[in-house]
Amino acid sequence: MDAEDRAMQPSWDPTNAMIAFIKKDGDDTQLVVGNPRTSVTRQITSTPGQRYHPKWLDEFLFAIYDKTLDGESQICQSNVFRREESCLFGVEGFDVSTPAASRNGAIIAFTMRAKTEGAQSDIWLYQVSNQSFFQLTDTPDESEGAPYFSPDGRWVVFHSEKDGQFNIHRMRIDKSERIQMTN
């Protein structure tokens, strides 16, 4: 496999029926799903763009991921059976990435960083039903990323970088408690 033919960033759906992953396709990356028992795969997206960090939005109908096209990043979803891609949101002047959905799919945690030199990233939440945003972390001297929900949906776990040191933190989605788990 050469550098132009890469498959990466696998994500297993909660029912164990499918795996979503990203596959390099020329200058673009596409979303692919596969059956882990038979190894049969099918490409779900085909439009231009760089897609990364696929996760499952619900049991296994939709996968979410970040997509960048012409310098603009968005959080998108794709119906894996209908092969329909739609973008949920982007934020002008910011990069959005690494989405993860709560188990019921009602909230999406993601990383957001201003498109300025030296900007730090924070974790944000997006409530799907009313399309509202909520900033979970607000740490000017740290850069957080790669959020993931606890099974009960009350916590988000993520990594945080401060002064070159990376640690894992967990935080309640109501911001009432933040705990550093590693040193």
**Tell me: the pLDDT tens digits for 60-98?**
689 999 999 999 999 999 998 899 999 999 999 999 999
pTM, two decimals, is 0.91
Query: Topology of domain 7-180, per CATH?
Result: Neuraminidase (2.120.10)
Domain boundaries, the chain: 7-180
Q: Which residue has the tokens 């596959």?
A: 23
Position 1 pLDDT exceeds 50: no
Q: Which residue has the tokens 């900007």?
A: 119
Residue length of the chain: 183
* Averaged pLDDT for residues 39-58: 92
Measured CA to CA in angstroms, residue 104 lies from 33, 50, 127, 140, 171 at distances of 21, 27, 11, 31, 19
